[in-house]
Amino acid sequence: MNDPALSYQEPLAGARPERRHLVVGTGAIAHAHAAAVAAHPRRAAVVSAVDIDARRAEDFAAGHGIPHWSTDLAQALQGRPDLAHICTPPGSHVPLALQCVEAGVPVLLEKPPALSLAELDELLEASERTGVDVSVVFQHRFGAAGLEVRQLLAEGSLGRPLVAVCDTMWYRPPEYFAVPWRGKWEVEGGGPTMGHGIHQFDLLLALLGGWTEVSAMAGRLARDTATEDVSTALVRFDNGALATIVNSLLSPRETSHLRIDTELATVEVEHLYGYSKDDWTITPVPGRESVSDSLVSVTADGQSGHADQVGAVLDAMDAGEPLPVPLREARDTMELVAAVYASAFTGRAVRKGEIVPGHPFYSRMDGTGAPWAESHSLEGASL
């Protein structure tokens, strides 16, 4: 029996979780979502999986003990799951999320939430019109130490933030781009700015607040992609702080590094795909040594990851509150992505609020076109 509509009406064998989850797209990251839900066994369970590839859906369901699978999202939505996790390639995020929202099913949407600000605004309109929430996956906002640092900065315990550095220096060999949806504007929406560094600078924005202006450069230096393989940006924040951001897929010693210098301390985290408390350090200015003890009370020692965000989503559902990282907040991060490309491709600074309907970078992240778009490919240039 494989009828998702029935699955939601039947008790599961064993545990009876409060929330019934649907996973849409059963590729690589879907496993992290299944594990994240499994980390909350008395609160939630994945009860159905959907993929356009039946074999993948079936294998995924079998591997995670999920009672039902399907290739038809409309059919799965008839079962009225409590939350749909959208884990498909970026080009399908908005169409699938719209289908869920219009069916009244809240969404946990993988990053990047959309291919463009125009697409994101279409989903935002539907979400706000229907009152059905969309939560965007930015899991590094939810690590215990990261939440504590956010609180310290918000309450002013570290003084004013002044200078920040945000580096996503990762290495992806040429074979990585063999997957059909990678490295193309039409289906991935961008390169490391859109797809990789976005985690780290979303955390930067969560910690520092709104941004006002960006100047950027981007290059397609060593991979045979249509998108960039590296970008650099200078960002000014509402509170006056200045930051540099580097997003690279060409960096053999890989790291994700975020450093914020405030009036009272340097706060920094160095990790790769998830941090624990031990990855954070606080270096006080002379005479203010006590601020270095600020993270002592953080007891969680696991890595920041999907389980943290799923936990926060379940908390919000239980409390009847809006789901965390609503589209409106994620829009600030996506607008920064659009501004990085707009600045890099036009050679001038871009201010927040400048990219509106009619602006070339509103409907496509490559806007007027990447400078290298007309040049021949980098075939043979792989490192």
Least CB distance to ligand NAD at residue 297 (A)? 27
Q: Which stretch binds ligand NAD (CB under 6 A): 21-29, 119-127, 141-149, 158-166?
A: 21-29
String of contacts with ligand NAD for each residue 81-120, x by CB under 6 A: ------xxxx-x---x-------------xx---------
Residue 271 backbone phi and psi in degrees, to 5: -155, -165
Mapping DSSP onto H, E and C, the string for 133-147 reads CEEECCHHHCCHHHH
| Distance separating alpha carbons of residues 230 and 218, to the nearest angstrom | 6
Beta-ladder partners of 60: none
String of contacts with ligand NAD for each residue 152-191, x by CB under 6 A: ---------------------------x------------
Residue 234 and residue 224 in contact, taking contact as beta carbons nearer than 8 Å: no
Three-state DSSP class for 302?
Answer: coil
Q: Cβ-count burial of 222 within 10 angstroms (0-12 exposed, 13-18 middle, 19+ buried)?
A: middle
Least CB distance to ligand NAD at residue 367 (A)? 21
Among 1, 11, 14, 28, binds ligand NAD (CB under 6 A): 28
Q: In terms of CB distance, is 114 or 241 closer to ligand NAD?
A: 114
Comparing CA positions, the residue from 268, 276, 280 lying closest to residue 303 is 276
Q: Which residue is nearest to ligand NAD (CB)?
A: 27
Least CB distance to ligand NAD at residue 196 (A)? 8
Least CB distance to ligand NAD at residue 200 (A)? 11
Least CB distance to ligand NAD at residue 80 (A)? 19
| Distance separating alpha carbons of residues 49 and 22, to the nearest angstrom | 6
Q: Cβ-count burial of 1 within 10 angstroms (0-12 exposed, 13-18 middle, 19+ buried)?
A: exposed
Among 39, 52, 103, 221, binds ligand NAD (CB under 6 A): 52
Least CB distance to ligand NAD at residue 141 (A)? 11
| Distance separating alpha carbons of residues 116 and 356, to the nearest angstrom | 11
Q: In terms of CB distance, is 21 or 262 closer to ligand NAD?
A: 21
Kindly list the residues in this chain that would bind ligand NAD in the complex (CB under 6 A).
Answer: 24-30, 50-53, 56, 87-90, 92, 96, 110-111, 137, 139, 179, 195
